[in-house]
Amino acid sequence: MEKKTVDLSLLDGVLEEYAPVKGSLITILQHTQDIYGYLPKEAIELISDKTGIATSEIMGVGTFYTQFRFEPVGKYLIMLCQGTACHVNSSELILQTIKDELGIEDGQTTEDGLFSLKCVACLGCCSLSPVMMINEDTYGSLTPDKTKKILKELREAAL
């Protein structure tokens, strides 16, 4: 998946509003990720320039919080729960199914840019375990067959 040019002008309003506000870095990063889907290197450099915060400090904050991403994600972001209930109910089997079906590992995106996979500590849906979220939709009581069917349906819907 090739990287696109980043239109930094999309950050103008955010930086105008928040750059002068002390302690607003997390808010700026959240807005930046909302705009681009991740935190592009060029945006981090611009944020540094406009706020006076060193890029190393911005990266330190960005890497500390799991909500932030530094690479573009696919159209469908799969968040697979690895919490205790999901683990006990075979989330590793679901992870292997996703990896086999999509040919990606945790943290990777398919070459066609359709799917990204992220293993997360907990989705808070323990009664549905094993569970995954794909964008805003939650899928529970997963089996390998059910998981394959969900991925197939999403792939077909994207065509």
Q: Which of 34, 64, 94 is the last residue of a domain?
A: 64
Q: CA-based angle 145:113:32, to the nearest 5?
A: 120
Residues 81 and 149 in one domain: yes
- What type of residue sits at position 78? I
For position 1, what pLDDT does the model report? Answer: 45
Tens digits of per-residue pLDDT, 43-75?
A: 999 999 999 999 999 999 999 987 898 988 899
Q: What's the rounded Cα separation, in Å, for the pair 45 and 55?
A: 6
Q: Is the pLDDT of residue 3 over 60?
A: no
The CATH number of the domain holding residue 115 is 3.40.30.10
Where residue 4 falls among pLDDT bands split at 50, 70, 90? low
Residue where the block lists tokens 């990720």: 33
Burial of 113 (0-12, 13-18, 19+ CB in 10 A): middle
**Considering its fold, how many domains does the chain have in total?**
2
Q: CA-based angle 68:73:75, to the nearest 5?
A: 135
Domain residues for the domain of 87 are: 76-158
Residues 43 and 95 in one domain: no
Residues 103 and 60 in one domain: no
Tens digits of per-residue pLDDT, 6-47?
A: 999 999 999 999 999 999 999 999 999 999 989 999 999 999
Phi, psi of 29 (to 5 degrees): -65, -40
Instruction: Please tell me the pTM assigned to this model.
Output: 0.73
Residues 81 and 150 in one domain: yes
Is residue 113 within 8 Å of 77, Cβ to Cβ?
no
> Is residue 1 included in any domain, yes or no?
no
Is residue 41 within 8 Å of 81, Cβ to Cβ?
no
H and E: helices and strands count for the chain: 7, 4
Is residue 52 within 8 Å of 21, Cβ to Cβ?
no
